[in-house]
Structure 1
């Protein structure tokens, strides 16, 4: 199975703890024994701090985006270092490079690519480009809810939803100031247009990520720590 994993910077690199990078590396190494794996790393707190500093200096949003992209690529290099010889030695700068790197048999690790796109969107586009079997968005949220659970105590978590319903939920959440959507709108639209099988899951525990992708992912069944986005009945 070909898996594209969007690994959020908020869980991978929130404090640049080397032990955390090594734990995720061990899990990814085990997953790669059974599946072809490409990982897109997020920027996390470091990216936000750099972007805030740039804005305070008067930088335009495109410049801020490029700064964020550089941070995601630094996180990718750290993860590749933790993977050692199991990682492809270069960080792909675009989708074609990632496709070529995949043929090496190594774990491909990359960061952002285009201004205006989150790494979730990059991972979704990469999954579409490679015709991946599964897109996994590994984050600190345990799935997709009917509304933002941080703002609405009556929010209901879904075990499985369609791409169309995901877009409706994401757009409603994104329009409310201060709300946080588990999937950004661009990624949601990519998932819809190419009918990707996707999983949004809480991956703050590296071992749980390994368990789900090694077992549940191949069964296409609901998981308690996440939400399946699929057109399958």
Structure 2
């Protein structure tokens, strides 16, 4: 059984069928699953994408740096909301950002984050890494490495890693297991290239599954993954 994991939640998946904003039923279900695994003593860090509010440059009139800053703030909003739902479900939480965010969040420190995890809190990492040109994929791997997580749990809208985009190609084949080097060599869209290389260099495995499947987070933790294991050794 894993002791500490970094859970990456897709912003779009949290929006449910609405595709934007929040679907409270979806978030509440995630909270129930995370409560189940934290009750088993597993420490959980969380990164959430911002795609339910903002995806990159939506206009050529917006500078890339500014567009990325908007995306960082979208992830802060997501973490504030999801954190509050988690608290309603009976968990203690803490939100860290790499930049000062008034009284909303705490400034990121590895020592403080690990201390909170060891105290049983669910720790949210919002705001990306605080700089443009880096995605929440990169944030996920960076924070997972920093907190010395056993694995990254990638809860996405798609149920694993495929040899091509299953939304476009109905004949796409899902991998049960694939090495990170093959992901990089074949440019498979698990996480972006920077994040993939960081996983390879730091030996950080990933478990990729669908957030929309019943009890998918619990099943993955219990070794009943219905998705793809991305290996690093």
What TM-score, normalized by structure 1, do the two folds share? 0.82
- Residues 24, 194 of structure 1: CA spacing in aligned structure 2 closer, same or farther, 3 A cutoff? same
Matched with 1:8 is 10
- SS of structure 2 residue aligned to 1:211: helix
Give unpaired runs (5+ residues) of structure 2.
Answer: 99-107
Does the 8 A contact of 1:4 with 1:134 survive in 2? yes
Q: Quote the Cα distance in structure 2 between the aligned partners of 1:79 and 1:100.
A: 21
C-alpha displacement at 1:61, in angstroms? 0.5
Q: Going by fraction, where is helix more abundant, 1 or 2? A: 1
CA contact (8 A) 1:120 1:187 kept: yes
Residue matched to 1:231: 232
- Correspondence for 1:82: 85
Contact 1:147 1:169 in 2 (8 A): no
Give the whole-Å Cα distance in 1 for the aligned partners of 2:144 and 2:95. 19
Change (3 A) 1:95 1:137: farther
**CA distance, structure 1, for counterparts of residue 71 and residue 4 of structure 2:** 27
Give the stretch that moved more between structures: 152-161 or 133-142. Answer: 152-161
Deviations 1:167-225 (A, max 9, x none): 1222xx5xxxxxxx232212211111111121111112352222222x117xxxxx3x3
Q: 1:30 aligns with which of 36, 43, 52?
A: 36
Q: Aligned ranges for residues 1-233 of structure 1 at < 5 Å?
A: 1-13=3-15, 14=19, 15-34=21-40, 35-48=42-55, 51-52=57-58, 55=59, 58-84=61-87, 86-93=91-98, 94=108, 96=110, 98-111=113-126, 112-114=128-130, 115-170=132-187, 181-205=189-213, 207-213=215-221, 215-216=222-223, 223=225, 225-232=226-233
Are the equivalent residues in 1 in contact too, given 2:14–2:52 (CA < 8 A)? no
Instruction: Return closer, same or farther for 1:131/1:107 CA change in 2, 3 Å cut-off.
Output: same
Normalized per residue, which structure has more strand? 2
Go from structure 1 to structure 2 and tell me whether the alpha carbon gap of 1:169 and 1:72 turns closer, same or farther (over 3 Å shift): same
Q: What is the deviation of 1:44?
A: 2.1
TM, length-normalised to structure 2: 0.82
Q: Offset at 1:42?
A: 1.0
Cα deviation for residue 134 of structure 1 reads: 0.9
Superposition deviation, residue 102 in structure 1: 2.4
Matched residues, number: 212
